[in-house]
Amino acid sequence: MTAFVLGMGLMVFAQTVQAPADGGGIRAGLQPPQKRRLTMSDKHKVHAIGQTTVKTYEPTAFDEVPVAPTLSDIRVTETFSGDVEGDGLVHVVQAARADGAASFVGIERVRGSIGGKKGSFLLQVHGTVVGKEMKAEWFVVPGSGTGELKGLRGEGGFKAELGQHGAIWLDYDFEAP
């Protein structure tokens, strides 16, 4: 039996099997190892959770049309706590209807740590506001990690009631060096 280490601590065992001399094929119950590519679902990701606290919220309307959503540029600073620690600076473009519902997209730079590793990274976010609930999904912008967070990749999001702390999550791993 041969062991292969594939990264992220994943070890695979393969057994070499010889065909019987009588030409009867592979012995019952034993199959030769199959080659296949590993996919993202094969890799171990860490599930980080925490919360955000908004420190500043600065909206500026830049395009208004009667009976249509208003476009706004919003700058937000926030603090992350939990498995993700640090400070974030977000630049969002939002389309808000008169009833308060909105859609938004943006980029956030987070400076801090994840799992004890320090650096910075970018999150690309998109989400909605319906009633008093804000929901969004985000992903780590490829190649944006610095310091000990170089190679960071992942997906997650947040959910919050307007004016309250946001519950966040990020499923992440690191690219092989």
Q: What is the pLDDT of residue 28?
A: 41
Q: What's the alpha-carbon Rg for the chain, to the nearest Å?
A: 24
Nearest to 107 by CA among 93, 128, 95, 97: 93
Euclidean distance between CA atoms 106 and 139, whole angstroms: 11
- Could you please report the per-residue DSSP string of 98-147? TTS-EEEEEEEEEEEEETTEEEEEEEEEEEEEETTEEEEEEEEPTT---G
Q: What is the pLDDT of residue 34?
A: 43
Q: What are the structural domains, with CATH classification, of the chain?
A: 1-43 (no CATH), 46-174 (2.40.350.10)
pLDDT by residue for the chain (177 residues), tens only, comes to 333 333 333 333 333 334 444 444 433 443 444 443 444 554 689 999 999 999 999 999 999 999 999 999 999 999 999 999 999 999 999 999 999 999 999 999 999 999 999 999 999 999 999 999 999 999 999 999 999 999 999 999 999 988 788 999 999 999 987
Q: What is the pLDDT of residue 163?
A: 77
Q: What is the pLDDT of residue 159?
A: 97
